[in-house]
């Protein structure tokens, strides 16, 4: 199954657009990460004080291959009116045989609390079910990550339990809250 990379996903509110990030987005992504370091570092293994524009560019170079191979589908969240990069979200760790994937997200710190991540989760989940053929989407977040847990709950994901030592961030292994979405959850 091949999904075109020129896709745009739009929410009914018209507030956000999800589209695959391009190389020309590197500077915007880098700036959004740096503006959000203190909020991202406790939860994102890739995020550190020495995060660089090269890290961003290197990651962006891998995305077309991952997309074309069905390994992962990354999207930039963009403010539909202002064109500002709001954050990133992705379906990754896809297991096609069992039709499930992980869904992750982050929103730049100066735009949190606006419902952006919740809209993005619902849009991306619909894409996963309709275009990718998934039957289950998992959202796995650190137990203490209250903001991401609220996003999962507001998006309609079902809390399934606590997974001990499920996430590795740097040298730490932390407990995670497991949430899931299935197609019926979005109806």
Residue-by-residue DSSP string for 155-175: TTPEEEEEEEEEEEETTEEEE
In the predicted model, is pLDDT for residue 116 greater than 80?
yes
What is the rounded distance in angstroms from the CA atom of residue 43 to the CA atom of residue 105?
Answer: 11
Q: What is the pLDDT of residue 1?
A: 59
Antiparallel, parallel or unpaired: β 100-107 and 136-142: parallel
pLDDT tens-digit map of 61-114: 999 999 999 999 999 999 999 999 999 999 999 999 999 999 999 999 999 999
Q: Specify the CATH architecture of the domain 9-186.
A: 3-Layer(aba) Sandwich (3.40)
pLDDT tens-digit map of 124-140: 999 999 999 999 999 99
- What would the mean pLDDT of 6-12 be, rounded to a whole number? 88
- What would the mean pLDDT of 143-171 be, rounded to a whole number? 96
What is the rounded distance in angstroms from the CA atom of residue 65 to the CA atom of residue 115?
Answer: 31
Q: What is the value of pTM for the model shown?
A: 0.95
Q: Give the three-class secondary structure for 72.
A: coil
């Amino acid at each position: 199954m091949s999904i075109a990379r020129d896709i745009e996903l739009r929410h009914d509110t018209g507030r956000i657009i999800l589209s695959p990030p391009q190389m020309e987005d590197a500077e915007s992504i880098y700036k959004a990460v740096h503006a959000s370091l203190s909020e991202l570092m406790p939860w994102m293994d890739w995020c550190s004080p020495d995060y660089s524009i090269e890290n961003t560019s290197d990651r962006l170079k891998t995305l077309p291959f991952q997309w074309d191979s069905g390994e992962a589908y990354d999207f930039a969240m963009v403010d539909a009116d202002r064109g500002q990069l709001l954050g990133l979200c992705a379906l990754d760790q896809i297991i096609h045989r069992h039709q499930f994937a992980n869904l992750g997200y982050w929103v730049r710190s100066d735009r949190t609390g606006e419902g952006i991540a919740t809209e993005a989760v619902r849009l991306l989940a619909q894409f996963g079910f309709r275009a990718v053929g998934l039957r289950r989407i998992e959202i796995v977040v650190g137990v203490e990550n209250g903001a991401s847990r609220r996003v999962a709950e507001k998006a309609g994901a079902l809390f399934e339990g606590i997974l001990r030592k499920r996430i590795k961030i740097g040298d730490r292994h932390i407990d995670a809250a497991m949430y899931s979405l299935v197609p019926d959850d979005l109806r």
